[in-house]
Structure 1
Amino acid sequence: MAVHPSLATVADLATLLGRTFTPAQEAQAQALLDQASSVVRAYVRQDISRATTTDTFTMRRADPVLHRCAGAVTLPQRPIVEIDTVLINNVATADWWQDGNDLLLRSWTWDQPPAAHRPPQVTVTYTHGWDPVPADIQAIVMQAANRVIVNPSGIRSETVGGESVTYLIPAVGEYLGVLLSRTEQKVLDRYRRTAGTVNLRSR
């Protein structure tokens, strides 16, 4: 499994907060940024940061009249920067073109029964993601990490010695920790992948 970098750095967070971290605080901040980055990636179902991936997909039949091709696969990671190589059943081909996130394969002889029950496997190596990471995604990652730094106990309010203290937790009263608020999810929805081809194998 690929290890992805944090979507924001400790230096970014320190600048946002206007403070200098001690070594121990830097380690905590890095751990929280890593967690927040994982939460954001899980929500949008995207790697987000620039990377090159090799994935294998099952080819689906395409409308030969509408698409003028034999088959297609949908590449799940966005945005697609470059498609490097395409193999069909481990045979390299250059007979394809890109239409958005779809890879359209111009010609391929589909097997007749019983082999037809084993659709062609398409292995694609492609580069995808943003460099740099979009500013709104960075901001959300830092906000999610900072919530835990500011309020590690997740307390909204408490009374100590007759004095009431209220913490910055959303009005709905949910403890977010390194999670996302509904407002943050709405911001991230523009990046979210809601459907796509199932990835069979990554390497």
Structure 2
Amino acid sequence: MAADEFLADPAELAVKLGRSEDDPKLLYALRAASRRFRGQVGHQVTLVTDDEETLDGNGRESVLLPVWPVTAVSAVVLSGTTLLEGTDYEWSEAGILRRLGCLHWPDRLRCLRVVYSHGWDGLDEVPGDIQEVVLERAEAGVNIPVGVQSQTVGGQSVTFGAQAATGSTEAWVKAVEKYKVRTSGDA
């Protein structure tokens, strides 16, 4: 199993569910919840090194890189010219790429090529709100039969809300919104 396959700790889910941390159903549910979160935010979440993006200029001093946290910027090329960090541009962990020297990025499409590294390096660095919603979704995946919203056994009846069955809880929606890939319109 790849170290960054899961966005939450299988041992934590195992304790919560009273199962073994190598239980195949538990691991499947956690893997599925991690894939679902990654798919909805549009990026890996865990560390990606030397990711290359072509960006549009916006006519402003700063552009936002699509994914944060940014851990390194190894190249910025503007219309074929390589820029120098500290002289031509600076960057922040929040994914802000700022032009220096009172200059602005040109207002042109696809004029900027950036090679940068982003994401959290290891499970212990993944933000707690991501881990929490992935654990909740995985728990629902183990406990709630697919497609079932209510179940009756003898005289007992249990109804699962549509949110629990689909995984679209308020916490999930907020986490996806917070960590999704940013577009140039987000600046």
1:52 equivalent in alignment to 2:30: no
1:32 Cα offset (Å): 1.7
- Normalised by the length of structure 2, the TM-score is 0.71
Aligned residues between the structures: 174
- The runs of 5 or more residues in structure 2 that have no matched partner are none
Q: C-alpha offsets along residues 71-97 of structure 1, whole Å, 9 cap, x if unaligned?
A: x54211112222233233555321211
| Cα 1:176–1:41 shift into 2, 3 Å | same
Structure 2 partner of 1:5: 5
1:195 Cα offset (Å): 4.1
* CA distance in structure 2 between the aligned counterparts of 1:135 and 1:56, rounded to whole angstroms: 28
* CA distance in structure 1 between the aligned counterparts of 2:131 and 2:149, rounded to whole angstroms: 25
Q: Which amino acid aligns with 1:157?
A: S
Structure 2 partner of 1:137: 130
* CA distance in structure 2 between the aligned counterparts of 1:156 and 1:59, rounded to whole angstroms: 46
Q: Which amino acid aligns with 2:51?
A: T
Q: Which amino acid aligns with 1:141?
A: V
RMSD of aligned residue pairs (Cα, Å): 3.4
1:86 equivalent in alignment to 2:106: no
SS in 2 for 1:52: strand
Structure 2 partner of 1:126: 117
1:144 Cα offset (Å): 0.7
Percent of paired sites with the same residue: 21
| Higher Cα radius of gyration | 1
| Cα 1:90–1:176 shift into 2, 3 Å | farther
Q: C-alpha offsets along residues 8-62 of structure 1, whole Å, 9 cap, x if unaligned?
A: 13222112223325x6xx2332222122112223334443223324222234142
| Cα 1:121–1:16 shift into 2, 3 Å | same
- The runs of 5 or more residues in structure 1 that have no matched partner are 111-115, 199-203
- Normalised by the length of structure 1, the TM-score is 0.66
